[in-house]
Structure 1
Amino acid sequence: MASWGANDDERIGRYVRQLRRARGLTLTQLAALAELSQPFLSQLERGLARPSMASLSRIAYALGSSQLEIIAAAVELDGPAPGPAPTLVRAEEGSHGRYGLGEARLLVAGDRPFYPMTFVADNTERGDFHRHPEGEFLHVLEGSCSVDLGRVDLGRVDPSGSPEGEHYELGVGDSLYYAGGTPHRWYSRDGARYRLFVVKQHVLLSTAARTAAPQLVTDLIGATP
């Protein structure tokens, strides 16, 4: 289960601050979106306060992220730079935790430019639309899944709750990609379990990852015959 210890409080706060800035939000704006107090968020970002899982869920939603992504990325914040060496995640490994209205398990370790994961849920509740700047890819491994997509230019739903966009019914073997900024939500029409393979672009915020990424591109270009 994705979790953190007392020594990770500072990294959680630092990652939230970096992600907030990457999203172009002020502390006041994040406080309003997450419906939390600005003093609490200020203390959290400085590693002086620890959020409950409910508070972290609100913060993650406001930042277009998830509890799982924030905790997993934060604990890797000061880790070694990701290089070209293969990274193996065994079947019993990988950070796992809440992702939207279901549970997900990350299939890669470290701060990487994309997050592949498996997602399992049986929610009939549609819930709120989620929205993040990164693109996302879905592939149905088991069951069937309903997907509502809102319009990117509006980023909202109409008063009746129907998305001003598209609706898709996905079955085993079906895939769907939508661009960053697209409001989206997934659910089951009959409450049956569905399982997805999800790939989400990821913001590289750690110093090591941001330093390594352009260097890796330079090395690859330099190695081209």
Structure 2
Amino acid sequence: MRLGARIRSFRQARGLTLVELAGMAGLSHPFLSQLERGQARPSMVSLERIARALGSSQIELIAAATDDLVPGHGTARVSLVRQMEGPQGPFGGGEARILVRGEVSFVPMEFRGTNRSLGEFYRHDEDEFLHVVSGSVLVDLADEGQYELESGDSVHYAGGTLHRWCSRGEGEYHLFIVKERRPSS
């Protein structure tokens, strides 16, 4: 039920109707309605399609849906996430871990990937900042250009910018990403 309520909140914050979100995600309107009311559970494939349509990610939706399970999260002014804590899961071409809990104005994430292909573009309304902790990354911002980033380099792009990235070398790369968060309704 928490996940469905969070999807509804994200949808409403973006000014979308159920029918519009269903069309964007390639899912049925009745299924989304049941999901939002806690009467259906999405597969990981469906959740990815919903997240993409909302300009979000599976891990962000899951994290937002579990925030209220953290004791004191609603009243705390401090969010502490220890080394092996925080929601983790697929994000883009790798794995991400969200580094904060609760309703905050930004979402910091740790990202690790090995993808050597750029894959599909992502787009969301929120600004995003990316810092390369280790490795070498090619960041493709469509009409805004491609940037080869090394350890210590950073890039910021405005909301609505098409973006994707991949490894420029062998092995894993490690990123620190900060995404603006829209307030949920």
CA distance in 1, matches of 2:95, 2:114: 10
Q: Could you tell me how far 1:174 is from its partner in structure 2?
A: 0.1
Structure 2: state its 5+ residue gaps: none
Max radius of gyration: which structure?
1
Report the counterpart of residue 204 of structure 1 in structure 2. 183
Which amino acid is the alignment partner of residue 141 of structure 1? V
1:173 to 152, 171, 178: 152
Report the counterpart of residue 28 of structure 2 in structure 1. 37
Structure 1: state its 5+ residue gaps: 1-9, 150-162, 207-225
Change beyond 3 A, Cα 1:183–1:82: farther
Q: Percent identity?
A: 55
Report the counterpart of residue 118 of structure 2 in structure 1. 126
The alignment's TM-score, normalised by the length of structure 2, stands at 0.92
Report the counterpart of residue 186 of structure 1 in structure 2. 165
Report the counterpart of residue 221 of structure 1 in structure 2. none
CA distance in 2, matches of 1:77, 1:32: 30
Report the counterpart of residue 215 of structure 1 in structure 2. none
Q: Could you tell me how far 1:24 is from its partner in structure 2?
A: 1.7
Q: Could you tell me how far 1:83 is from its partner in structure 2?
A: 4.0
Report the counterpart of residue 94 of structure 2 in structure 1. 102
CA distance in 2, matches of 1:39, 1:21: 17
CA distance in 2, matches of 1:18, 1:87: 22
Q: Could you tell me how far 1:81 is from its partner in structure 2?
A: 2.6
Aligned residues between the structures: 183
Q: Is the 8 A contact 2:135 2:169 kept in 1?
A: no
Q: Could you tell me how far 1:78 is from its partner in structure 2?
A: 7.7
Cα deviations by residue, 1:100-158 (Å, 9 ceiling, x for unpaired): 12101111122221111110011122121111111111110110011111xxxxxxxxx
The alignment's TM-score, normalised by the length of structure 1, stands at 0.76
Which amino acid is the alignment partner of residue 145 of structure 2? E
Q: Which shows bigger deviation, 105-114 or 42-51?
A: 105-114
CA distance in 1, matches of 2:182, 2:90: 19
> Are residue 135 (structure 1) and residue 112 (structure 2) matched?
no
Q: Secondary structure at the match of 1:112?
A: coil
> Are residue 19 (structure 1) and residue 10 (structure 2) matched?
yes
CA distance in 2, matches of 1:200, 1:91: 20
Q: Could you tell me how far 1:29 is from its partner in structure 2?
A: 1.6
Report the counterpart of residue 106 of structure 2 in structure 1. 114
Which amino acid is the alignment partner of residue 189 of structure 1? R
Q: Give the RMSD, CA atoms, in angstroms.
A: 1.7
Cα deviations by residue, 1:22-78 (Å, 9 ceiling, x for unpaired): 112221221111111111111111111000111101100110001110011012258
CA distance in 2, matches of 1:82, 1:179: 31
